[in-house]
Structure 1
Amino acid sequence: MPDIHIERQHTLGIARARQVARKWVRQAEQEFGLDCVYTEGEERDVVTFTRAGIDGTVEVTAQTLTFDATLGFLFSSFSEMIEQKISRNLDALLGPAEGGNRFA
């Protein structure tokens, strides 16, 4: 079970959702030092990411972006702060209308 689970509904379709996800990957690599691998599929894409103390996935579909992360011992005490930062980043990338349609 992941330590952080964030799910956002959107109406972007798969092509635009991929653009958002790829932009998130670039930001995550630069800002958090994550090593990301983007795998495109027919109906869903999966981003796997890792670095010392954190690993997880972002699943991208035509209707949702789902972020799941497992934190190591040192990062676990910061899980709420990390979750808030990731949520803000995803909401900013999805835009006000898309980010507003969310559930966790």
Structure 2
Amino acid sequence: MSGIDIHHAHSLPMAKARKAVEQVAKKLAERFDVEYGWDGDTLNFARSGVDGKIALEPKQLHVTASLGFLLSAMKGPIEAEIRRVLSEKF
């Protein structure tokens, strides 16, 4: 199993950062049939072949995901897309 581990700094107030994370999650759900839900300040997401979370902290986001066998071959492009979206939103 392959993994993604990204730390991304932000300067948004927690409420605005949470809204931005929610927008990203909604796009993931629409595009990739990902299910998600909040547990405190952590957004958990999952679908077949992916299990991950976005931990919202005062000055950074911490994105972690475990990729199943088939998606592990796509780790580079998936990680690049996550970084692109984070740069765009934060």
Q: 1:2 to 1:18 in 2, by over 3 A?
A: farther
Specify every segment of 5 or more residues in structure 2 that has no aligned partner in the other structure, as ranges: none
1:46 aligns to what?
A: 42
Measure the CA separation in 2 of the matches of 1:90 and 1:30.
17
SS, match of residue 3 in structure 1: strand
1:18 aligns to what?
A: 18
SS, match of residue 51 in structure 2: strand
CA apart distance, 1:2: 6.4
Q: 1:2 to 1:63 in 2, by over 3 A?
A: farther
Q: 1:8 to 1:2 in 2, by over 3 A?
A: farther
Is the CA contact 1:17–1:61 (under 8 Å) kept in the aligned structure 2? Answer: no
- TM-score w.r.t. the length of structure 2 is 0.92
Q: Is 1:70 paired with 2:66?
A: yes
Specify every segment of 5 or more residues in structure 1 that has no aligned partner in the other structure, as ranges: 95-104
Is the CA contact 2:2–2:72 (under 8 Å) kept in the aligned structure 1? Answer: no
Segments of 4+ moved more than 2 angstroms = none
Bigger Cα displacement from structure 2, 46-55 vs 11-20:
11-20
> Aligned Cα RMSD in Å?
1.5
- TM-score w.r.t. the length of structure 1 is 0.80
Q: 1:63 to 1:50 in 2, by over 3 A?
A: same
How many positions carry a matched residue from both structures? 90
CA apart distance, 1:33: 1.4
